[in-house]
């Protein structure tokens, strides 16, 4: 056990030492014009890369992603119902959907779903 601890600390020390050495030796320039400009087929960009966008579209996209992941989490419940206790699975499904509905109500109450302002 003691040898494993020594080896882990030696590996950690060596990794930190190598990262610090890399930062000291590397020749990076943060003020390089080409690296700071957006890439547009090797040409200078015609417009600014930082265009404003609607925050409403961003909120709808985030809400979609959240609910999309939650639907992906609900799908295995259908397959598990056959092999597990029905009452237990119904309770888990009920609480999961309840949490989803509470989140949807919160978003609705905060005005994230109101499209027209």
* Domain coordinates in residue numbering, the chain: 2-36, 55-110
User: Structure tokens of 108?
Assistant: 């609705």
Of the pLDDT bands very low, low, confident and very high (cuts 50, 70, 90), residue 58 is confident
- Cα–Cα distance for residue pair 43/109, rounded to 1 Å: 47
Of the pLDDT bands very low, low, confident and very high (cuts 50, 70, 90), residue 52 is confident
pLDDT beyond 60 at 40: no
- Cα–Cα distance for residue pair 115/83, rounded to 1 Å: 43
Q: Please say whether the beta carbons of 37 and 45 come within 8 A.
A: yes
Give me the pLDDT at residue 11, please. Answer: 95
Of the pLDDT bands very low, low, confident and very high (cuts 50, 70, 90), residue 38 is low
Give me the pLDDT at residue 72, please. Answer: 85
pLDDT beyond 90 at 13: yes
pLDDT beyond 90 at 15: yes
Instruction: Pinpoint the alpha helices (H) of 26-84.
Output: 33-36, 55-80
DSSP character for 89?
H
Give me the pLDDT at residue 65, please. Answer: 86
- Cα–Cα distance for residue pair 50/42, rounded to 1 Å: 18
Higher pLDDT, 33 or 99: 99
């Amino acid at each position: 056990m003691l040898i494993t601890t020594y080896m882990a600390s030696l590996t950690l020390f060596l990794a930190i030492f190598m990262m610090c050495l890399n930062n000291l030796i590397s020749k990076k320039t943060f003020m390089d014009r080409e690296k700071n400009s957006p890439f547009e087929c090797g040409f200078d960009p015609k417009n600014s890369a930082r265009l404003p966008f609607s925050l409403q579209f961003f909120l709808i996209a985030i809400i979609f992603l959240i609910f999309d992941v939650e639907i992906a989490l609900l799908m295995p419940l259908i397959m598990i119902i056959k092999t597990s206790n029905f009452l237990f699975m119904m309770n888990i499904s009920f609480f999961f959907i309840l949490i989803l509905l509470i989140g949807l109500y919160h978003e609705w109450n905060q005005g994230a779903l109101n499209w027209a302002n």
